[in-house]
Amino acid sequence: MFHAVTEPSTLFDQGIQIPLIDSFYMDQGSLLKTLLYELKDGVIVCDSGARITLFNQAAEDLFGQYKLLKKGLSLYALCYQPPVEEALRLLAYQHSLSSQAQMLPYIQFINKAVGRNQYFRCRVSFSSPPSAGKKSFVLVLEDISAWYTPENPLLLKIEEFRAPMTNIRAAVENLTEYPEMSPVMRSAFENVLVQETHNLTKAFDDLARSCNVLMQTQNHLMELSTEVLFNYVAHHLEHQGIPVTATPDTAICVKVDIYGLLLMLNFLADKIRLEQTKKELTCKAHVGEQFIFLDFIWPGKYMATGSVSAMLEEQLEYSLGEMPLGSLLHVMDGDIWSQQHNKKKSMLRLALPIVKRADN
């Protein structure tokens, strides 16, 4: 279960240390106390087959009433399997890289309780080095059901401001072009519209920034360097027969839900392959000034705006909470569109914002 080491291992970012001690030297009761009994988040330890070997009181508070949190039972009777496995694959992939400068001690992601609308922000880490063979792991679960919903009403409400603001700006432009009014009235009316449009835009931007700050403090997204992200995306897509070229920047980071991102990439690739007669499909991952881009490129015509909009409404199979593509994209503050790539090829671009640093 735990393996003896000479130094204590820090459990994630909780600021509390747990010695990893071989269970030969401690009985289960003592080991349970060692495992941060007072931690408010649930802690579950599993063997390489995801069978539960240990858990703390907080985990029992989350799941105990359902009688599925027992030693020897599967973790996946409690929460969904694909997000956990994707996080473990990313952890294992990191350990396989020759350069481990960007090694993350854990992977953060969101998961959902089986059969209930209960959501968790999860952090998973191996409880022993993967080189040891058996990849037992520790899962920390924080109940975020109080603020997380797949369709956050606050964010959706904010988005409703965009169309009216666009219409107001367009009205100002049209009013400027047609001189039906007297000069005095026209000037006064234009000044009011221009000023109010400016004020409304500024108020919206301030509200959006405040909301983003609030949501980032309650965020399930994982910050990854583009070096790790691009290589892992390439690893994933190339297994599906999609060649990937990547130009990562080790200094650039992006916040993603890795499980959700791979679901989106799979969905978009399948859509392109269904609509295009030629099956030649490649992907280019690169960094822009404010966004990172994942571009699917194929020979032929680009997708119509209506087709892209329709895709945003489609539910993603295996997504937590049966989220549509647009909602999952919105969670990561991303966007997609299709355009001509060159004279012979088109592309579908997925853009995700770069994490801004205070010193940038």
Residue 312: Cβ within 10 Å count: 15
Q: What is the mean pLDDT of residues 89-117?
A: 82
d(CA 120, CA 111): 5
Q: What is the pLDDT of residue 318?
A: 86
Kindly report which listed range (10-19, 47-56, 64-73) carries the lowest average pLDDT score.
10-19
Q: What is the pLDDT of residue 342?
A: 83
Q: What is the pLDDT of residue 25?
A: 42
Q: What is the mean pLDDT of residues 337-350?
A: 90
> Encoding tokens for residue 212?
């983003």
d(CA 74, CA 33): 22
> Encoding tokens for residue 61?
């508070």
Q: Could you tell me which residue, 337 or 30, shows the higher pLDDT? A: 337
Residue 151: pLDDT over 50:
yes
Residue 188: pLDDT over 80:
no
The DSSP H or E segment spanning 141 is strand 137-143
Q: Confidence class of residue 137 from pLDDT cuts 50, 70 and 90?
A: very high
Strand runs labelled E in 227-356: 244-246, 253-256, 282-287, 291-299, 335-340, 345-353
Could you read off the pLDDT of 40-57 as tens digits, one per residue?
Answer: 889 999 999 999 998 888
| CATH superfamily label, 9-143 | PAS domain (3.30.450.20)
C-alpha dist (Å) from residue 163 to 83, 168, 207, 302, 351: 35, 9, 16, 25, 21
Q: In 3D, which of 109, 108, 115 has the Cα closest to residue 63?
A: 115
d(CA 54, CA 78): 14
Q: Confidence class of residue 215 from pLDDT cuts 50, 70 and 90?
A: low
Residue 129: pLDDT over 50:
yes
Reported pTM: 0.66
Place of tokens 């705006």: 305
> 282 φ, ψ to 5°?
-130, 170
Could you read off the pLDDT of 74-85 as tens digits, one per residue?
Answer: 999 999 999 999
Q: What is the mean pLDDT of residues 8-14?
A: 40
According to DSSP, the residues that pair with 219 across neighbouring strands are: none
Q: 222-353: which CATH architecture? A: 2-Layer Sandwich (3.30)
d(CA 121, CA 225): 20
Mean pLDDT over the full length of the chain: 79
Residue 187: pLDDT over 80:
no
Q: Confidence class of residue 216 from pLDDT cuts 50, 70 and 90?
A: low
Tell me 323's DSSP state: -
Residue 340, CA atoms < 13 Å, CB-side half-sphere = 3
220-231 burial: b if 16+ Cβ within 10 Å, else e = bbbebbbbbbbb
Could you read off the pLDDT of 280-319 as tens digits, one per residue?
Answer: 899 999 998 889 999 999 998 888 888 998 999 999 988 8
Q: Confidence class of residue 28 from pLDDT cuts 50, 70 and 90?
A: low
d(CA 139, CA 127): 10
242 neighbors 283 (Cβ within 8 angstroms): yes
Q: In 3D, which of 259, 266, 215 has the Cα closest to residue 110?
A: 259
Domain boundary assignment for the chain: 9-143, 153-217, 222-353
Residue 67: pLDDT over 60:
yes
Q: Confidence class of residue 29 from pLDDT cuts 50, 70 and 90?
A: low
Kindly report which listed range (8-12, 254-258, 344-348) carries the lowest average pLDDT score.
8-12
Q: What is the pLDDT of residue 103?
A: 72
Helix (H, G, I), strand (E, B) or coil at 348: strand
Name the percent of the chain lying above pLDDT 90: 36
Q: What is the pLDDT of residue 6?
A: 30
Domains 9-143 and 222-353 share a fold: no
Residue 26: pLDDT over 90:
no
50 neighbors 76 (Cβ within 8 angstroms): yes
In a 10 Å sphere around its CB, with 0-12 CB exposed, 13-18 middle and 19+ buried, how is residue 81 labelled? middle
Q: In 3D, which of 155, 78, 157 has the Cα closest to residue 115?
A: 78
Q: What is the pLDDT of residue 271?
A: 92
Of the spans 45-49, 102-106, 131-135, 214-218, which averages the highest pLDDT? 45-49
Q: What is the pLDDT of residue 150?
A: 62
Residue 24, CA atoms < 13 Å, CB-side half-sphere = 3
Place of tokens 């992006």: 254
What is the Cα Rg of the chain in Å? 25
175 neighbors 168 (Cβ within 8 angstroms): no
Q: What is the pLDDT of residue 11?
A: 44
Q: What is the pLDDT of residue 23?
A: 44
Place of tokens 């063979």: 133
329 neighbors 221 (Cβ within 8 angstroms): no
Could you read off the pLDDT of 227-285 as tens digits, one per residue?
Answer: 999 999 999 999 999 999 998 876 789 999 999 999 999 999 999 988 776 678 999 99
Q: In 3D, which of 125, 80, 93 has the Cα closest to residue 233?
A: 93
Q: Confidence class of residue 356 from pLDDT cuts 50, 70 and 90?
A: confident
